[in-house]
Structure 1
Amino acid sequence: MSVSFRRFALPVAAAFAFAAAGCASTSKQASTGEYLDDTVITTKVKTELFKEPDLKSGQISVETFKGEVQLSGFVSSRAAIDKAVAITRQVEGVKGVKNSMILR
């Protein structure tokens, strides 16, 4: 290889590497498709929780990020927590459930 080709190839390769790294998705942001999927999952979970008469679903918050559902809020018993988590796990698209609910 000639010296002039090396001088040209190295900066081009470095620029390409930086450009390719900028195209990689980050784990902190969901793509548009993931955001829509998460919105559907959140809606389905809220609907299923609302159907359960033993739960005060208005006091349970549901957030979804990349299929991982976080439940938070106040509930009256450990049985209510277990029921809410079980219902959430059964919803299609849920990859995992994080329980942040507090007994009141």
Structure 2
Amino acid sequence: MQIHKIINTLVTGLLLSLAVASVYAAGPGVNVTANAPSLTEQAAVILDDSVITAKVKGALIVDPEVAAMKINVVTKRGVVVLTGDVPDNNKGDYLIKLVATIEGVKVVQNQLHVKPG
């Protein structure tokens, strides 16, 4: 369990650093309109999504039911998209339920493919 916390902390830190760096990389040449979200708001969304992705990946790594599967995780505004191959529908359903329990996840989109093993 301790390794789980360490992995989550490391992944979260890395993703937070990358998200902040990407916002600053946009530089002062970014045009902002009255209705567009501020850079701070954009950074907050990126950070939130990065943290959710890190939590999901951490949960998948430590779960013995799915640790061996190669599942891709993409998060945008709290919507988590899962792609990859699962051995059967039951494993796919298990993954979706597991991810749906993670704090910050609003919706789980299933783009998993059943590929018997």
Same fold by TM (over 0.5)?
yes
**C-alpha contact (below 8 Å) 2:84/2:111 kept by paired residues:** yes
SS for the counterpart of 2:113 is: strand
Contact 1:62 1:69 in 2 (8 A): yes
1:20-99 correspondence runs (5 A): 22-25=33-36, 31-56=42-67, 58-99=69-110
Deviations 1:45-88 (A, max 9, x none): 01111122121455100000000000001111111101110111
Larger Rg computed on CA atoms: 1
SS at match of 1:53: coil
Structure 1 segments of 4 or more deviating over 4 A? none
* SS of aligned partner of 1:88: helix
Q: Distance in 2 between matches of 1:66 and 1:79?
A: 27
Q: Counterpart amino acid of 2:51?
A: V
Mapped contact 2:69–2:85 kept (Cα < 8 A): no
Alignment length (residue pairs)? 81
Unaligned residue ranges in structure 1 (runs of 5+): 1-20
Percent of residue pairs bearing the same amino acid type: 32
Give me the CA root mean square deviation: 1.9
* Deviation, structure 1 residue 23: 2.4
- Please state whether the residue corresponding to 2:36 is helix, strand or coil: coil
Q: Which amino acid aligns with 1:37?
A: D
Whole-Å separation in 2 of the counterparts to 1:79 and 1:57: 15
In 1: Cα distance, 2:112 partner to 2:101 partner: 18
Gaps of 5+ in 2: 1-31
Q: What is the TM-score normalised by the length of structure 1?
A: 0.70
For residue 24 of structure 1, report the CA deviation from its aligned partner: 1.7
